[in-house]
Amino acid sequence: MRVLVTGGAGFIGSHVVDALRARGHEALVYDVRQDPAADVRDPVAVARALAGVDAVCHQAAMVGLGDGVTDAAEYVSRNDLGTAVLLAAMAGSGVGRLVLAGSMVVYGEGRYECREHGVVRPRPRAVADLDAGRFEPPCPACGRALAPGLVAEDAPADPRNVYATTKLAQEHLAAAWARSTGGTAVSLRYHNVYGPRMPRDTPYAGVASFFRSALARGEAPRVFEDGRQRRDFVHVRDVAAANLAALDADTPKGALTAYNTGSGEPHTVGEMARTLAAAYGGPRPVVTGEYRLGDVRHITADSARLRAELGWKPQVGFQEGMREFARAGLRGE
């Protein structure tokens, strides 16, 4: 199979390229890191890159929480306009298979259950509560404490920052393309991906990169809130394998199918920081009580659909992955 990988020189994209080539596929890298002319928003360049292509793995995106809404136009341009240009070019060239780098951020907060009111959707956390160190979202009906659980693909979308909004828009665009062309579209809703080649400490890097960058400087990782927020940390090679499984899958034509892509093993951010610091041999993390307003408290995946329908399962365990990540270099080092 001849596969165009947008963002193929980036963190996740480069691992997707490696996995494709190891499986005997022809992987074509389309990335401004390698060629400034390879902008996914350029319809002429994209159409040229699609010549002879069987499928597209669309990894190119501006990622991370960013800086509130000050960079909203850049997010929309890179993520949504770029996806629209790519899909229009695919429709024109007859490429009928798409695997999209989706994200768990489309859910907003994860799944919560109240003893009295059952499954509920908490409201966005208030600044006054965060300033006071009240990080857990209460039940919107009675104000009592909630129990977090695993979120499934049928949970309602509730994006709570600019990046999350653009990732949901990408899915809607891909669904519209699939309906219009009869193409096959899969969105892999990545959870917290980590591993070799992560970008260095930037406003757009993931929390694992922040911690690893601090350790490389000889500094203690700074853990926001109280460190008890839950995430699903999934290794980048497992995510690359999920992309291959999605390319090979017999998914419905004319529709978008979404799959949570996580390890299925929730860990707290504080636990991840302590595990990484111990593996690196650096200073213990410091819990700061700071927060970012666009962050959610708990978001962890139920990846049962991906396992059942695509035959995928993660191969890299949490402890093993953190030991490797502690030794791995970051992009820019």
Q: Are strands 184-190 and 222-223 parallel, antiparallel or unpaired?
A: unpaired
Instruction: Give the whole-angstrom CA distance, residue 301 versus residue 313.
Output: 13
Catalytic residue at 204? no
Q: How many other CB atoms are there within 10 angstroms of residue 317's CB atom?
A: 12
Q: Are strands 2-6 and 55-58 parallel, antiparallel or unpaired?
A: parallel
Distance from chain centroid for Cα 294 = 15
Q: Which tokens is 57 given? A: 């793995």
Catalytic entry in 30, 75, 107, 163: 163
Instruction: Give the whole-angstrom CA distance, residue 201 versus residue 332.
Output: 9
Q: Which tokens is 194 given? A: 């980590």
- Name all contacts of 48-54 with Cβ < 8 Å and 24+ positions apart: 49/4, 50/4, 50/89, 50/90, 50/93, 50/95, 51/93, 52/2, 53/2, 53/3, 53/4, 53/28, 53/93, 53/95, 54/1, 54/2, 54/3, 54/95, 54/97
Active-site residue numbers? 163
